């Protein structure tokens, strides 16, 4: 019975819902549409619970770091403190608009911190470009030339100095890049379809937790 | 010379950081204002909004978080300015929980500049959990997906949403995205089934990946990065943060190009390079 609920029942549900979702797409009947509406609401409720799982997992990971005093465990403490502070302020302040406590945390902590993290990328990219962007081979040289043309053509100063840089960068994006990306997208899509079929028919079972 | 090349290759990265900081700061403080050439993909978004009659429903999904604010916020401001100028019914929303406050601020902020009334001329639906399922849900029944808007008003009673039962009644959707869920999600789960017109605005990193969708007409236009935002500002004749940022971006791009060229020059002047190349060839055998 335990094995049935742990393995057979989830596989059966996956098969039923997988096949039903695939068939539903081609049936524009009101009953079929109503079923999709209902299922999409249920899915969102389930995903809401997934957030609780995520928070639990986050707490578990950082608790383990604090308990074992691994390098940088202090940051895990910061995660706990900031999370608890945000929840407390969120419950205490009625609303999330600017002017409320939660709004203040959002604007002056989250916005500033995330902005700073992303801004630092620019500095690291420049440093990495200086150290690693070398024409060690023909392929690397092609990549290097393409990158320089792109950087020239995507800024007004580059187009001002070399008017052909803009159209050249556009050609790189619209022709070479599109051709390569299209191949990648087709590959990913075929892989996605194959994986979906394997999951629906119970061939791929890793989502069950691997305890067969 | 070769000794110098070797030393320069081992240059302290803080020197590079200072160069980038100066290249960003100086143009921001003293802008030059180089003209911005408008690309066809940005013009297509502009033209489509221009073609919409007043009262059409324009849904702007701000699918990004504060990390992408420098690139996507100016885009949102420009698009909202254009939509309100054209007297479209604006519906704002977000699929990213961390973007909610920022998205609400930009929608209500631009709306107040035009004297637009909440619930009548525009609304902000806010965030709803579920990612791509929210799109499917909205396509089936918008009021089921968002029973109330961000301010707690019942969506079924909002005049701005009169006649809008689902995404099928939305005239134009633009997703400003910094990742997933974003433009691709809106195409796969939204436009493909519910048949609205879709445009995209993304960070410069994501933009190249969306060109195949543009080429096939799956999205009708694409605003890419700060450059795209600057182009849109130029089109609507409202030079804002994006145009101001283009000078800084020009300078930083040129610094990086210069660094790459120098790095390669030093690399080939460095006596160790030939040795390393030789040893690599040896390893290949």
> Which residues, in sequence order, are bridge partners of residue B92?
B60, B124
Q: Rounded distance, CA B230 to CA A157, Å?
A: 14
| Closest CA in chain B for residue A150 | B253
User: Shortest Cα distance from B89 to chain A (angstroms)?
Assistant: 23
Residues of A in contact with B257 (CB under 8 A): 148, 151-152
- Tens of pLDDT, residue by residue over A111-140, are 899 888 888 888 998 888 888 888 888 999
- Tens of pLDDT, residue by residue over A171-189, are 999 999 999 999 999 999 9
- B68, B140, B208 member nearest A173 (Cβ): B208
Residues 6+ away with beta carbon under 8 Å from B182: B63, B95, B175, B200, B202, B206
Mapping DSSP onto H, E and C, the string for B230-269 reads: HHHHHHHCCCCHHHHHHHHHHHHHHHHHHHHHHHHHHHHH
> Which residues, in sequence order, are bridge partners of residue A120?
none
Residues of B in contact with A160 (CB under 8 A): 34-35
Does the pLDDT at position A211 exceed 60? Answer: no
CA proximity to A149, closest of B265, B253, B70: B253
Answer whether B211 sits within 8 Å of A178, measured CB to CB.
Answer: yes
Is the bond leading into B181 cis (omega within 30 degrees of zero)?
yes
Across the A:B interface, residue pairs with CB atoms under 8 Å apart total 159
pLDDT at B235: 97
pLDDT at B1: 66
User: Shortest Cα distance from B268 to chain A (angstroms)?
Assistant: 9
DSSP per residue, B139-183: HH-HHHH-SB-TTS-BGGG-GGGTT--SGGG-SEEEEEESSSSSH
CA proximity to B41, closest of B176, B213, B187, B205: B213
Q: B132 with B181: CB under 8 angstroms?
A: yes
Residue with tokens 């691997």: A210
- Tens of pLDDT, residue by residue over A86-104, are 999 989 887 777 788 888 9
Does the pLDDT at position A210 exceed 70? Answer: no
| Closest CA in chain A for residue B13 | A127
Q: What tokens were used for B226?
A: 């700060």
Residues of A in contact with B129 (CB under 8 A): 44, 47-48, 51
| Closest CA in chain B for residue A157 | B250
Mapping DSSP onto H, E and C, the string for A56-112 reads: HHHHHHHHHHHHHCCCCHHHHHHHHHHHHHHHHHHHHCCCCCECEHHHHHHHHHHHH
Q: For chain B, which ranges sit under pLDDT 70?
A: 1, 271-285
Q: B67 with A111: CB under 8 angstroms?
A: no
Q: Rounded distance, CA A48 to CA A45, Å?
A: 5
User: Shortest Cα distance from B107 to chain A (angstroms)?
Assistant: 13
- The B residues from 209 to 248 touching A (CB cutoff 8 Å) are 209, 211-212, 215, 225, 227, 246-247
Whole-model pTM? Answer: 0.89
| Closest CA in chain A for residue B136 | A40
- Tens of pLDDT, residue by residue over B229-285, are 999 999 999 988 899 999 999 999 999 999 888 888 888 877 565 545 444 444 444
Average pLDDT over residues A39-55: 87
> Which residues, in sequence order, are bridge partners of residue B60?
B92, B174
- B37, B66, B129 member nearest A115 (Cβ): B66
Answer whether A152 sits within 8 Å of B253, measured CB to CB.
Answer: yes
Answer whether A118 sits within 8 Å of B70, measured CB to CB.
Answer: yes
CA proximity to B77, closest of B232, B275, B189: B232
Answer whether B215 sits within 8 Å of A144, measured CB to CB.
Answer: no
Does the pLDDT at position A79 exceed 80? Answer: yes
Is residue B45 classed as helix, strand or coil in its secondary structure?
helix
């Amino acid at each position: 019975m335990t094995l049935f609920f742990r393995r057979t029942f989830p596989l059966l549900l996956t098969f039923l819902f997988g096949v039903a979702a695939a068939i539903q797409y081609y049936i524009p009947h009101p009953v079929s549409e109503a079923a999709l509406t209902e299922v999409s609401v249920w899915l969102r409720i389930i995903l809401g619970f997934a957030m609780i799982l995520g928070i639990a997992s986050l707490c578990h990971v950082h608790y383990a770091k604090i308990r074992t005093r691994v390098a940088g465990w202090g940051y895990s403490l910061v995660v706990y403190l900031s999370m608890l502070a945000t929840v407390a302020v969120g419950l205490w302040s009625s609303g999330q608009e600017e002017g409320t406590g939660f709004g203040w945390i959002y604007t002056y902590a989250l916005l500033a911190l995330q902005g700073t993290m992303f801004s630092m990328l620019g500095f690291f990219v420049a440093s990495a470009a200086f150290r690693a962007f070398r024409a060690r081979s023909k392929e690397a040289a092609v990549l290097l030339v393409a990158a320089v043309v792109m950087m020239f053509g995507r800024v007004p100063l580059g187009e001002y100095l070399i008017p052909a840089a803009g159209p050249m960068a556009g050609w790189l994006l619209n022709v070479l890049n599109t051709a390569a990306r299209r191949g990648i997208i087709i590959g990913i899509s075929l892989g996605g379809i194959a994986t979906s079929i394997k999951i629906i028919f119970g061939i791929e079972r890793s989502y069950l937790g691997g305890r067969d | 010379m070769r000794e110098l090349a070797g030393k320069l290759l081992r240059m302290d990265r803080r020197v590079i950081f200072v160069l980038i900081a100066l290249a960003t700061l100086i143009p921001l403080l003293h802008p030059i204002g180089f003209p911005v050439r408008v690309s066809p993909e940005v013009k297509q978004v502009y033209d489509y909004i221009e073609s919409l009659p007043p009262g059409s429903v324009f849904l702007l999904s701000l699918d990004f978080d504060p990390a992408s604010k420098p690139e996507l916020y100016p885009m949102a401001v420009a698009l909202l300015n254009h939509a309100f100028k054209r007297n479209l019914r604006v519906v704002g929303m977000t699929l990213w929980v961390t973007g909610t406050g920022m998205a609400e601020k930009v929608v209500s902020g631009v709306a107040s500049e035009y004297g637009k009334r909440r619930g009548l001329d525009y609304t902000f639906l806010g965030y709803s959990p579920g990612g791509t399922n929210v799109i499917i849900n909205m396509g089936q029944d918008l009021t089921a997906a968002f029973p109330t808007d961000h301010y707690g008003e019942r969506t079924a009673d909002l005049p701005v949403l009169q006649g809008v039962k689902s995404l099928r009644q939305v005239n134009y959707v633009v997703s400003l995205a910094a990742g997933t869920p974003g433009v691709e999600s809106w195409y796969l789960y939204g436009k493909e089934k519910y048949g609205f017109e879709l445009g995209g605005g993304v960070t410069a990193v994501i933009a190249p990946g969306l060109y195949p969708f543009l080429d096939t007409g799956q999205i009708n236009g694409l605003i890419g990065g700060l450059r795209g935002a600057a182009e849109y500002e130029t089109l609507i004749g409202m030079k804002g943060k994006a145009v101001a940022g283009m000078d800084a971006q020009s300078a930083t791009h040129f610094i990086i190009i210069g660094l790459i060229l120098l790095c390669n020059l030093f690399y080939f002047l460095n006596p160790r390079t030939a040795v390393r190349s030789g040893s690599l060839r040896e390893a290949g055998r």
